[in-house]
Amino acid sequence: MDFLKNNSFVLKAAIFATGFAGIVAEYILSTLATYFIGNSIFQWTMIVSLMLFCMGLGSRLSKRINKNLIQNFLLLEVSLSIIVAFSSVIVYTIAAFSAYYDILIYILSMLVGLLIGLEIPLVVRINKEYEDLKTNISSILEKDYYGSLLGGVFFAFIGLPILGLSYTPFVLGIVNFLVAGIVLFRFKEKITRAQLQRLNLLLFVVFTTLITGISFTKPIIQWGEQKKYKDKVVFAEQTKYQKIVLTEWRDEHWLYLNGNLQFCSIDEEMYHEPLVHPIVQLAKNPKNILILGGGDGCAVRELLKYPEINKIDMVDLDPTMTKLGKENPILININNGSMNSSKLNIFNKDAYNYLEQDTTSFYDIIIIDLPDPRNVELGRLYSHEFYTHCYRKLRPNGFIITQAGSPYFATKAFKCINKTMQSVGFKTVLMHNQIISMGEWGWVLGSKKQNSEDLKKQLQKLTFSKLETKWINNQAMQLLTSFGKESFFNNNKNDSIEINKIHNPVLYKYYLKGNWDLY
């Protein structure tokens, strides 16, 4: 009887481990899809749905396996071990040569789902020798679900933030390999000598392959990463929230988040000076400033040119990004060490939650320097509800400015941000600039009190004569606030644009449907 219990325990432990590895494999492929393709909610939905569908298909196909159940289970485990372990390496390698990496990611997710779907019914059928039907099915599925929970916790707290996409897949490969090894050892008496020799040889080959893969995965992925960028990658790190990459060409540097350009040191002043100086000049002696995003420190650099500013609060979700702004020599050189200023207080929190939960801080100016609203999560930071919180946090004479993407490459998204800000009571002015590295880019500036026409007139009179700037001056202000004839940009189609709300997230759709292929 003890023998029977031990065999059943090994099978349940195996299914617990494969449940753990299976769910993490889903998360890895979903993260890869988000990083390489974009639109995270869509990618996670499709990857998980495809894997679940293929698990069902695998379960259906498993009934065709009529003999050698243990051997077939072992073959499934070693197959999963190799496929999952090398998933990141394969995707990065193919992405370096082909534009069809998206198809590859979907194929991998379907293949992993198919193999998992095949193995669960096999374990149930093997375990029927040791438990009755009712206990057998419930206990096997129970262990699979428990393993999935552990896998989710592992991926969230250890896999992605610590091991990254380089080594997390190999942890899964090792888990599947160990399952195969333990099951083979426990059930070897049920396998013929010839089959046992072949399986032992297979495990040895898989083990050697995994060890070799672990040794070479980082340089391969770095090589694949480098192929994505035309310039030399000098820093790359996958954090819990995003992929941060710094590239270098001669003495210039580019910062990318999830593959999207944030700034180039050649012309970043053409972005950060319009973001900061017009609004500070309008506010007249502001004391307390809130920056949402801006972890690179460039906006803080510009704010520190005003001695009258007493306090700058920065809310940036990713502690790795703000640490990079404080400690990385490249960024320190660009931001003039601004992130180490005694005036700066850094809060590594979600911007929406910070505004919603903080009830004691109020500001003269709010500067929003967040990534473009290319998905639902980021669109939440450009929503009616978000701007309502901003309105509440501003003092009566306060001003707000947000980066708003491109007015020409994503016109509807740009107008949607403006209309959404107006919906909470802000009087707004549109601004734009042709930035060499980024193309045509725009901002929306808002006031709680002054009307739009007066704001525009004041902006066009600003001179910055007493300020040390590299680009912005009075002539620039005429450019920044002018969009040409009404018929070209401010046409009647503006009426059909909806307000972006959390329960009606239209902004990211406008953004993704922009004319980016012209850029």
| Residue (of 57, 38, 34) closest to 111 by Cα position | 57
Q: How many CB atoms lie within 10 A of CB 59?
A: 18
User: How far is 229 from 396, CA to CA, in rounded Å?
Assistant: 46
Maximum Cα–Cα distance across the chain: 91
Terminal Cα-to-Cα distance of the chain (whole angstroms): 71
Establish whether 369 is a catalytic residue.
yes
Residue appearing with tokens 């520190």: 304
Residues β-bridged to residue 46: none
DSSP element (H, E) containing 200: helix 193-228
User: How far is 145 from 23, CA to CA, in rounded Å?
Assistant: 9
Q: 468, 494 in Cβ contact below 8 A?
A: no
Q: How many CB atoms lie within 10 A of CB 17?
A: 22
User: How far is 136 from 142, CA to CA, in rounded Å?
Assistant: 10
Chain Cα centroid distance, residue 158: 16
DSSP element (H, E) containing 364: strand 363-369
User: How far is 413 from 515, CA to CA, in rounded Å?
Assistant: 11
Q: Which of 267, 364, 369, 372 is catalytic?
A: 369
* Angstrom distances, CA of residue 14 to CA of 77, 207, 368: 10, 18, 49
Residue appearing with tokens 């999963």: 80
User: How far is 371 from 127, CA to CA, in rounded Å?
Assistant: 51
Which two three-digit tokens encode residue 189? 């008496």
Which two three-digit tokens encode residue 153? 């916790």
Helix (H, G, I), strand (E, B) or coil at 432: strand
The answer for residues whose C-beta is within 8 angstroms of residue 221's C-beta and 6 or more apart is: 88, 89, 92, 165, 166
User: How far is 179 from 100, CA to CA, in rounded Å?
Assistant: 33
| Residue (of 10, 180, 168) closest to 78 by Cα position | 180
| Eight-state DSSP code of residue 498 | P
Helix (H, G, I), strand (E, B) or coil at 481: coil
User: How far is 324 from 318, CA to CA, in rounded Å?
Assistant: 10
Q: What string of DSSP letters covers 286-335?
A: --EEEEEE-TTSHHHHHHTT-TT--EEEEE-S-HHHHHHHHH-HHHHHHH
User: How far is 303 from 289, CA to CA, in rounded Å?
Assistant: 9
Residues β-bridged to residue 434: 440
The residues annotated with a catalytic role in the active site are: 369
